[in-house]
Amino acid sequence: MFLLSGSGLGSWTKDEMEKLFTEIIPEMFQLAADKKLIAETVSVQLKNIEELWAMKSPDGKRLVVTI
């Protein structure tokens, strides 16, 4: 199972949170280190945040806002 999570962790049970930190996240990091999990991204600086409202990310890419 793979999970990319942003927010909303408050709705997770204690057991789900434990699994996230002891199993899921370590596996994700290992897969990334082995180059088996690659997240393609498009980066935009926070100072250019107004550009995001009309911007479309290429298919499959995730938007990353940097400071």
Segments making up each domain of the chain, as ranges: 13-66
Average pLDDT over residues 49-58: 76
Average model confidence (pLDDT) across the chain: 83
Q: Which residue has the higher pLDDT, 49 or 37?
A: 37
Contact 42, 64 (CB under 8 A): yes
User: Which letter, b or e, does each residue of 18-46 get, where b requires 16 or more Cβ atoms within 10 Å of its Cβ?
Assistant: eebeeeeeeebeeeeeeeeeeeeeeebee
Return all residues near 61 (Cβ < 8 A) that are at least 6 apart.
40, 41, 42
Q: What's this model's pTM, rounded to 2 decimal places?
A: 0.56
CA 61 to chain centroid: 11
Residue 15 pLDDT grade (very low, low, confident, very high; cuts 50, 70, 90):
very high
Average pLDDT over residues 42-49: 84
